Every structure is written in structure tokens, then in C-alpha cells.
Amino acid sequence: MMTLDAASWDALGLSLLVASTATLCALPLALWVAWLLARGTFKGKALLNAIVHLPLVLPPVVTGYILLIVFGRNGPVGHLLDSVFGITLAFKWTGAVLAAVIMGFPLMVRAMRLAIEAVDPKLEVAARTLGAPPLAVFSTVTLPLILPGVLAGAVMGFAKALGEFGATITFVANIPGQTQTLPSAIYAFLQVPGGEDRAIALVLWACLIAFAAVALSEWLAHRVAQRIQGQTQA
């Protein structure tokens, strides 16, 4: 029941590639934006917050279409990327990564922002008075304390990237072997008579991956907690 044909394997592999790449690319940027929103005092903070959250409230198809307009080969940014760097996003797997990054971004920022807000800034002040420069304070005090939140954000982003459908299919279409991700493959199989078996096999794999991702994140969070505790016992 879980045996997959070549096209399904391609879709599964592509989805994992897209989701992992998107998570890794979005992580540092999301952490920075989460920091700005949690601790920053600057004009336009509300606007930044709104822009970050926009993909969460817009219909995914709308987001995908906006991506197509902006990053398509004739779009302002897409044209620039194509002519200067030779990078094409529309109808490529890299475009699926961009769609996944944008759709997962608000979820990642949200989890990390909550974690940063939970850290008492007084601890950071204490670290400064002990002689630690600002960046060292972040890496030695803030980051270890928010690590569980960062992990939670990464898992949320990965899960969102894996399941992203609307924006992806609008921006990069559904080309088997090139841009066909797991959800778009399931959708495609259900469009043809007799495709249910192939769809069900992929659905089962999707469940399996989701389960594994949650288990992995739990294990990592446990490891983090243990390391924090372990430092106190060492």
C-alpha cells in the first residue's frame, strides 16, 4: 500500500528537498525579524509585523500569483535575477522553495518571537555588566534560552513547507519531476480515474513524515532541555 512509483518518489523527494532548503534559508532571517519585532523600537514596526503576517491571512493562491507577478521571468525582480544572475524561479523547484519560505515565515517568526519575549532582558543587562559584548550576550544567554522556541519555529516552517499547495501550484505549476511536490502530486492523482491508490500511498507517506518530524522535534527539544539541565549538573 505504501509502495510508490517513480513519479511519486520524485514528488516525495522534491517535497523533502524544498521543505529542508526553505527551512534552512528562512531560519536566520526569521530569527532576525523575530528579534526586531520582540526587542526593536523603530518606526514601521507595526508595518513590518503586518507584512510578515500577510501570507498567513491572504489566500495562498493570491500569494502565489503575487510571487508570479514579482518573481516571474518578466516581473521586476524575476527579470533582474534572470538577466544579472541567470536565476529563474518561476516554474522551477527553487521557486517552490521561495513559496515555502514565504508561507512558512510568519509561523517561524511567531514561535521565535514568543520565545524571545519570554527571555528577561534583565539577564542580558547582567551579562553586559559582566563584560560580555552584545553579540556574545546573544549567543551565550539569549540563544540558549530561546533554542526550544527556535526549534519549534523550524518544525512549524518545515511542516508548512511540506504541505504548501496553493501558492506553490500557482507560482511554479505542477510539472512532474520538476515542480510537482507531494501535495500537488496527490491532487494530480485524484484528477485522473483510478489514481486513488497512488494518492493513498502518498497520503500515508505524508502522515509518516509528519509524524517523524514531530517526533524529531520533540527529541531535539528534549535534548536541549537536557543539555540546559545537564549544564547545571555537570
Contact residues toward another protein (CB under 8 A) are 120, 122-123, 125-134, 136, 140-141, 144-145, 228-229, 231-234
Shortest Cβ distance from residue 225 to another protein (Å)?
10
Shortest Cβ distance from residue 50 to another protein (Å)?
32
Q: Measured from the CB atom, is 191 or 231 closer to another protein? A: 231
Could you tell me if residue 194 is left (phi over 0), alpha (psi between -120 and 50 degrees) or otherwise beta?
A: left
Q: Measured from the CB atom, is 47 or 135 closer to another protein? A: 135
Shortest Cβ distance from residue 132 to another protein (Å)?
5
Q: Measured from the CB atom, is 74 or 229 closer to another protein? A: 229
Shortest Cβ distance from residue 71 to another protein (Å)?
41
Q: Measured from the CB atom, is 136 or 215 closer to another protein? A: 136
